[in-house]
Each structure stands twice: as C-alpha cells, then as structure tokens.
Amino acid sequence: MVQESTPHTLDIEAIRQDFPILAREVYGRPLVYLDNAATTQKPQCVIGAISEEYRNANANVHRGIHYLSRQATDLHEAARDAVRRFVGAASRAEIVFTRGTTESLNLMATSYGEAFLREGDEVVLTQMEHHSNIVPWQLLRQRRGIKLKVVPVTDSGALDMAAAERLMTPRTRLVSVCHVSNVLGTVNPIRKLAAMAHARGAHLLVDAAQSVPHQSVDVRKLDCDFLAFSGHKVYGPTGIGVLWGREDLLEKMPPYQGGGEMISRVTFERTTYERLPYKFEAGTPDYVGSHALASALAYIDRIGWERIAAHEADLTRYASERLAAIPGLRIYGTEADKGAVVSFNIEGIHAMDLGTLLDRLGIAIRTGHHCAQPLLDRYETESMARASFALYNTRAEIDALAEGLERVRKMF
Ligand code: PMP
C-alpha cells in the first residue's frame, strides 16, 4: 500500500465518513467505488435533506397559499439561487430545472431548434460526445433537415481545433460540445470554441455533466451561451438537473412541454406562458431534489474546489502511472489537461471480463461503450474499462485497482 501523499489538506477519512455507503462491503470485501463518472455517492447531508423535507416541509410548490407550500416553495427557489451562484449566472431567470443533462439537451434540441434552426442550418458536435448530445440533434435533423458536423478527435484525445475552425461556417448556428469527455477525460478549450462560434454568429452549448463535479464552472468565464448538468453526478440526487441559458436567448425559445406551472393564462382559444424560468418547467418540479442538490453544492463549497481539484488531479496522475505500468494496458485519452477519468483496455482481455472479475474483488468500475459509441469506433474498439474518481477516493483504492488488474491479467 502506498501512503496517501497529499499536496493538499483534504482529510479524506473524515470525508469518507460523510458518505454512509462507502462503509459497506460487497462480496465480503470493502467497497472500492470507482464509477463516479456514472454517478457519485451521496453525503449524509444530501440524504438528510431529502428525508427532512418529506418529514417536515412537504407540499406542492408555487400554487399553495398555505404555510407548508410556501415553505417548500422557498426551499425550491433558494435552491435555484444556489445553482445560480454555483455557475455564476447573472439571473435566477436563467436557471431551468430539468431531470438531468439528457433532458436539458433534449429541451435545447426541441426548443432552441424551433426558435433558431431552419433547414440547412448547421449544428457542430464533436466525436467525443455522449449519446445525449448526439441523438437529440439527429431527431431534430429528421424533423427539420438541419446538418450535423462532427469535429474529429486526435489519437491522444484532443479536439482537432484546426478541423473545428474549418467545420464552422456562416451556416453554423450552434456548437454543442462536452466540457470534459466522460471517456477520455479531456478538458476541452471552451473559451476558444466560444470565440470560434461567436465569430460566425453561432451559439455555444456546453454539456458540463463531467466538469461541474470536478471544477469550478463559471458560465461567464467560459463565455458560453447554454450549459447543462446533472445533480446526481455532483453528489446530489437523481432526477434533477439544470439547463442554464442566456436570458435573451431563453426568452426567444418556445416552451418545451405544456402543462401546469408553465402557463400564465389558459383558455381553449389561446394560452399565454409564464415568465422565465417557469416557462420551461411544466408540471410539479422535483422540489425535494432541488433542495437536496443545493445541499450537495453547499457541501462542495464547504470543502472548496481548490482542495477537491488538487486531490482528484493527484488521484488521476497516480492512477495513470500505476495502470500504464501494467503490461499490455492501453490508456485512452492522454492529454495533459485531463479530468478524473482513466479509460483503458488490456490486450487479450475483454473489458467485460475485467469488470466482472474486479467486481468480485469489491471494485466497481464501468465497462462497455460508455454511451459514446462514435468515440469508441474512432479508437476501433467496442468496449473499454473506465475508472473514475471523486473527492472521497484514495490512493489505496487505486492500488487495489492496479493489484486487481494484475491478478486478472495473470488469469488470462
Ligand atoms: N453527457 C455526459 C458527458 C455524460 O457523462 C452523461 C452521463 N454519463 C450525460 C451527458 C447524461 O447524463 P444524465 O444521464 O444524467 O442525463
């Protein structure tokens, strides 16, 4: 076992105590949870926020004049303010609660598509997008006849920026790109892409599902026009996510779904819509989820991004070194600016077998196509193994992974 060498002051043992699930065993072994890019575990404050609200403050929001409804509404709207501060948005009108990144991107394809995209207009994506940032645009292509263009990825996992420059034309209306790849870990140069898009009068949408959990994300600094993320990847609950958009653009976009909450006045002849952000929030929102998400964001705030980022960078570096030393192991994504993800294959062993055998050792990693089949095609593989880290992971867990991989390798 390698001692924790900490270039920072994160008290990992204390942090681990905040996450009850980390104390459990699987197959009689301590859980080593390295599937954080799929979803993170939840601290006690988030679990507590959910049960507290159901115990003490549960009532449907916005419509009620009674005490509990006002209390639940206050918690929900305070959560919106917390998210606004968290992403550096100018106004709470710009924070739309959704079910997650996927719904935020579908909202964009439908509603931005309706307002801004005509036949022949171009949407630029990249080869490293998650299916959530591909399929909604393909559905729109079928409806609208838009064109999709794809920025290629280099061998080391960077965007080919010269190609991006060429692919963006005066017909480009939107560039939609992940901030951090869920497979390669590459941190994309969002400000440069924003400048390229804006120079052509296009907008930039950022899929921040894999960046928001690991670094401070400020929409003004990124200079993007829209940004999407999921609560469950940032220590919050499932079922809640966010779409941030520039107010002037959201104003021009039609509602995504119809129903309660999003209307101002309904008659059978004509309906007028609520102001932002409610225009995009049809139906009872996940007000318990928003409150619990706010408590996750407050938890991160208490620890501080600097310490989280330093710890995760240390883990990623350490994991890359340990795994690269295993004979026959290939790491996908070797850019210097890289998030807390290491994807790999070992020659002669299927990733599924790796994942299954590690699981028996109590080590949870993800295997498969990671919802990024075009990217896996680019690397001529159908499957990869992926270890991904969070603030509560340790070097000792990476040792367990490396030792587990060595054991599996010797079995083949
Ligand atoms: N984009 C990226 C980059 C992701 O990693 C994920 C989740 N794996 C998503 C989008 C979709 O997120 P969700 O399933 O929470 O909607």
At 63, the pLDDT band (50, 70, 90 cuts) reads confident
Residue 55 has pLDDT above 50, yes or no: yes
Q: What is the 3-state secondary structure (H, E, C) of 168-198?
A: CCCCEEEEEEECECCCCCEECCHHHHHHHHH
* 363-380 mean pLDDT: 98
The mean pLDDT value for 9-25 works out to: 96
pLDDT, position 403: 98
Q: What is the pLDDT of residues 300-317, one digit of tens each?
A: 999 999 999 999 999 999
pLDDT in tens, 318-355: 999 999 999 999 999 999 999 999 999 999 999 999 99
- C-alpha 207 to ligand 1 mean position (Å): 8
Whole-angstrom distance between the N-terminal and C-terminal Cα of the chain?
Answer: 25
50 three-state secondary structure: helix
Percent of the chain having pLDDT more than 70? 98
User: How much is the pLDDT for 4?
Assistant: 45
Task: Supply angle C-alpha 329, 330, 336, rounded to 5.
Answer: 130
**Model confidence pTM above 0.95:** yes
Tracing tokens 């807390």 back to the chain, one arrives at 340
- pLDDT of 26 reads 97
For residues 388-406, average pLDDT: 98
> Can you give the three-state secondary structure of 348-394, one letter per residue?
CECHHHHHHHHHHCCEECEEECCCCHHHHHHCCCCCEEEEECCCCCC
Atom of ligand 1 nearest to the CA of 129: 3
Whether residue 147 contacts residue 202, with contact meaning beta carbons closer than 8 Å, is answered with: no
pLDDT at residue 1 is higher than 50: no
221 CA distance to ligand 1 middle (Å): 22
Site of tokens 């408590």: 295
CB atoms within 10 A of CB 131: 16
The residues lining ligand 1, judged by C-beta closer than 6 Å to any ligand atom, are: 100-102, 130, 132, 178, 182, 207, 209-210, 230, 371
Distance 101 CA to ligand 1 centre (A): 6
Mean pLDDT, the chain, integer: 96
Q: For residue range 136-179, list pLDDT tens digits in order.
A: 999 999 999 999 999 999 999 999 999 999 999 999 999 999 99
Between the CA of 130 and the centroid of ligand 1 the distance, in Å, is 7
Handedness of CA 164, 170, 171, 175 (dihedral sign): positive
Q: What is the pLDDT of residue 59?
A: 97
In three-state secondary structure terms, 245 is strand
- pLDDT at 85 exceeding the cut of 60: yes
Catalytic residue among 45, 178, 224, 371: 371
Measured by CA distance, the residue closest to atom 12 of ligand 1 is 101
* Minimum-distance ligand 1 atom for the alpha carbon of 371: 8
270 contacts 89 by C-beta, under 8 angstroms: no
Mean pLDDT of 229-235: 98
Whether 371 is catalytic: yes
Ligand 1 center to residue 370 CA distance, Å?
10
Q: Which residue, judged by its Cα, is nearest atom 7 of ligand 1?
A: 38
Contact 358, 401 (CB under 8 A): yes
| Structure-token pair, residue 244 | 């941030």
* Ligand 1 atom at minimal distance to the Cα of residue 180: 3
Instruction: Please identify, by atom number, the ligand 1 atom nearest to the C-alpha of residue 230.
Output: 15
